Structure 1
Amino acid sequence: MEKKVSLVSHSIADIAAQLGGQAVGQTDLIVTRPREPAAAGPGDLALAMDPKFAAGLAQSRAEAAVLWADADWQSFGLKAAILVGRSRYAMSGITTLFDLPPGLAPGIHSMAVIDPSAEIGDGAAIGPFVAIGANVRIGAGVRILSHVSIAEDVIIGEHALIHAGVRIGARVRIGDRFIAQPGCVIGSDGFSFVTPEPNAVEEMKRTGRITGETAAPEWTRINSLGAVRIGDDVEIGANAAIDRGTVSDTKIGNGTKLDNLVHIGHNVQIGETTLICGQVGIAGSAVIGDRVVLAGQVGVADHVTVGSDVIAGAQAGIANNVKPETMVMGYPAQPREQFMRGLKSIRRVPMLSERLAAVEKRVPNEDVSG
């Protein structure tokens, strides 16, 4: 027997009010789930916010749809519609309305282990196999799913959602409305090691060469005494890793979002409303400004400063400071205009090589290669 899926129901009028859109037709019509236009039927809300989806909508059995602002909604045989402006922003509101929260009732599961000194806020929900250490403070309305571990002296603000398998280290401070996706680690030790005598890496940085005379590495750990401090409205993606600071805290500002598999090194300082996409790595003591966008697989070297309002294209390697309001691309990262000029020059190399070969054939006894 097919398992029945829980659905969320809303009227067209209520959805339009939440989206700031215009409701037309039978605005009291109830819909239970959003669907792609071609798959939508009665009771569904077809998502066709762009004219390119018109063909699929025309072939469907949908009675209600979200359409672009000046759409002729009646031409699709709909009973009701919601007309919106910015389609992707409307999608954010729609998915929020129809999202099903985790099935975790308020209260503490009998199989959770919580230190007696921990403080749990009103309405919090704590699932099975959760471990909460000494002197932890959990805010009101926080939801903690199964197999989460929270070490001693952690503070988590109100209305956080912490998914299964998250690990939060000692003394971490987290603001309100925090979201942690499954498997992320916050507050792991930084990757800091030193040798008793100068090593080959230091020699290379100082002289630009390796002589082999530097001491063989005997790596000694530098322990991490700091923690991690996270602002309000921050989201950390699945299997991301954020190292604690060596002495001071690693910091992530309000409204910043980290994608899956992001690594933030020790002492890193990240500003507000910054977007860090999948597989980005930021080395220790780097500073990232406000409203920065680091696309997938960007790498930022240690002690580098990336100014506010910077956009770094995918796989950019940032080895030097980047001025605010700059778009950089490539490796090593450089301003977009410079990168594009270099790319065009590279594309001309085969043509120039062919022209050089033709010249060599015409002048066989002379060396024209320089």
Structure 2
Amino acid sequence: MTRSITIADLAQQLGAPFGGNGEFCVTRACEPRDAGPDDLALAMDPRFAENLKDGAAKAAVLWADADWQALGLEAAILVGRGRLAMAGITAAFDHGVGLEEGIHPTAVIHESAEIGAGATIGPLVVIGAGASVGAGAKIAPQVSIGAGVTIGEAALIHAGAKIGARAKIGDRVIIQPGAVIGADGFSFVTVEKSHVEEARESLGAAVEAEGQAWQRIASIGGVEIGDDVEIGANVTIDQGTIRATKIGDGCKLDNQVHIGHNVVVGRHCLLCGQVGIAGSTVVGDYVVMGGQAGAADNLSIGSGAIIGAGTGVLSNVPKGRSMMGYPAVAMQTHVEMYKALRRLPRLLAKLSGKD
């Protein structure tokens, strides 16, 4: 499916000025080398200007003070922040999920479920008793929606996502393929105090308890996800034991993120690929956690904190602190520790008289 837009219309959507022929139509966005005569070349940094001559683009998105005429273009949009412009450009050319409007005849919808006006339900979707799908929501093929689930307006649930019973999903939420929302939490207990509990209490100094069978603690707290949240492919969010696991408005979760039971994540947090947060930890607003970072259970991570990639958070993090390493320390401290570690071989060689 081809989508065409004029330079003037796209510039208006981006809130940016343009030069040249505003009625010039472009059908897709491309890297400069790959752009044909009907394509929009993206060269929003002067470093990419040289690549324009290797393509055939007549129109481009360029940096704010670019001399577009000198580059041989017929039209150009001039932007201040290239990455911000990408948000509007990709939205303009997004083809969506390609679902046919309405409810597919193979969908299995319980008679007590409510489907809002204009909602689209794809093939082989299953919607349980008492569930509610908001107006304008789009549910792609083979999505499973449990009993009592609430999905807000204009939500987009991609193929194969599984949403467990009682989950509450806000407006305009996007859930990517394979995500599982509302699985049981990883919560078990032993009849007597376990060797794990003894190790935690004594920090491993004395572990005398014998091994025991694990007794399952059921999860009945559900999951609550705010508005404008995006959940990546194969993300897993466990429901709470008694109270709900919560994800605040505007959060963005990358692929393969895991959120344990009872976790509370504040507003507008960014959790990158393979982040893991253990049970009952509370994350403040605007927190960023880099790829493969993890947090232990029952901790507090203050609002505005930045947790570097691969960091292991084992204690509370103050508001606004940048952390890195394992165990996590202040980022500046970690950098100094790393520098010292790299100097060790040379220092040892000097001490041994080999240098």
TM-score after normalising by structure 1? 0.94
- The reply to whether residue 68 of structure 1 matches residue 67 of structure 2 is no
Q: Which has the larger radius of gyration?
A: 1
Q: Give SS of 1:191's match.
A: coil
> What's the offset of the Cα at 1:215?
2.6
> What's the offset of the Cα at 1:256?
0.3
Match of 1:338 in 2: 333
Q: Give SS of 2:327's match.
A: coil
Q: Give SS of 2:90's match.
A: helix
- The reply to whether residue 11 of structure 1 matches residue 17 of structure 2 is no
For residue 236 of structure 1, what is the amino acid of its counterpart?
I
- The reply to whether residue 231 of structure 1 matches residue 241 of structure 2 is no
Name the CA distance, whole Å, in 1 between partners of 2:34 and 2:145: 43
Q: Give SS of 2:85's match.
A: helix
For residue 191 of structure 1, what is the amino acid of its counterpart?
F
Match of 1:142 in 2: 137
- The reply to whether residue 117 of structure 1 matches residue 112 of structure 2 is yes
**CA-to-partner distance for each residue in 1:165-210, whole Å, 9 max, x for gaps?**
0000011011100100000000000000001111111111122336
Q: Give SS of 2:237's match.
A: strand
> What's the offset of the Cα at 1:58?
2.3
Match of 1:197 in 2: 192
**CA-to-partner distance for each residue in 1:253-300, whole Å, 9 max, x for gaps?**
000010100000000000000000000110000000100000000010
Name the CA distance, whole Å, in 1 between partners of 2:40 and 2:191: 66
Q: Give SS of 1:251's match.
A: strand
When the two chains are superposed, the root-mean-square deviation of aligned CA atoms in Å is 1.2
> What's the offset of the Cα at 1:21?
1.0
Match of 1:165 in 2: 160
Contact 1:200 1:210 in 2 (8 A): no
> What's the offset of the Cα at 1:59?
2.6
2:238 pairs with 236, 243, 248, which one? 243
Contact 1:287 1:305 in 2 (8 A): yes
**CA-to-partner distance for each residue in 1:14-67, whole Å, 9 max, x for gaps?**
000011111110110010001110111211000000001011112321110000
Matches within 5 A, 1:352-367: 352-358=347-353
> What's the offset of the Cα at 1:212?
5.7
Match of 1:366 in 2: none
For residue 199 of structure 2, what is the amino acid of its counterpart?
M
- The reply to whether residue 258 of structure 1 matches residue 253 of structure 2 is yes
For residue 358 of structure 1, what is the amino acid of its counterpart?
G
Name the CA distance, whole Å, in 1 between partners of 2:205 and 2:315: 23
Match of 1:289 in 2: 284
> What's the offset of the Cα at 1:217?
2.1
Name the CA distance, whole Å, in 1 between partners of 2:315 and 2:132: 40
Report % sequence identity.
56
Name the CA distance, whole Å, in 2 between partners of 1:211 and 1:102: 57
Contact 1:295 1:315 in 2 (8 A): yes
> What's the offset of the Cα at 1:106?
2.0
Contact 1:241 1:262 in 2 (8 A): yes
Runs in 1 of length 4+ with deviation above 4 angstroms? none
Name the CA distance, whole Å, in 2 between partners of 1:356 and 1:71: 57
Match of 1:154 in 2: 149
Contact 2:221 2:241 in 1 (8 A): yes
Match of 2:303 in 1: 308
Match of 2:322 in 1: 327
Name the CA distance, whole Å, in 2 between partners of 1:323 and 1:165: 38
2:264 pairs with 255, 263, 269, which one? 269
Name the CA distance, whole Å, in 2 between partners of 1:270 and 1:83: 37
For residue 58 of structure 1, what is the amino acid of its counterpart?
K
Matches within 5 A, 1:204-215: 204-209=199-204, 213-215=208-210
Name the CA distance, whole Å, in 2 between partners of 1:118 and 1:270: 29
Name the CA distance, whole Å, in 1 between partners of 2:180 and 2:21: 48
Name the CA distance, whole Å, in 2 between partners of 1:208 and 1:85: 53
Contact 2:263 2:281 in 1 (8 A): yes
> What's the offset of the Cα at 1:252?
0.4
Q: Give SS of 1:45's match.
A: strand
Residue segments in structure 2 that go unaligned for 5+ positions in a row = none
Name the CA distance, whole Å, in 2 between partners of 1:194 and 1:215: 14
Name the CA distance, whole Å, in 2 between partners of 1:200 and 1:153: 39
Contact 1:197 1:215 in 2 (8 A): no
Match of 2:32 in 1: 37
Contact 1:198 1:215 in 2 (8 A): no
2:174 pairs with 173, 176, 179, which one? 179
Q: Give SS of 1:13's match.
A: helix
Name the CA distance, whole Å, in 2 between partners of 1:40 and 1:208: 61
**CA-to-partner distance for each residue in 1:330-357, whole Å, 9 max, x for gaps?**
0000101111111111112111111111
For residue 254 of structure 1, what is the amino acid of its counterpart?
D
Contact 2:198 2:207 in 1 (8 A): no
TM-score after normalising by structure 2? 0.98
Name the count of aligned residue pairs.
355
Q: Give SS of 1:242's match.
A: strand
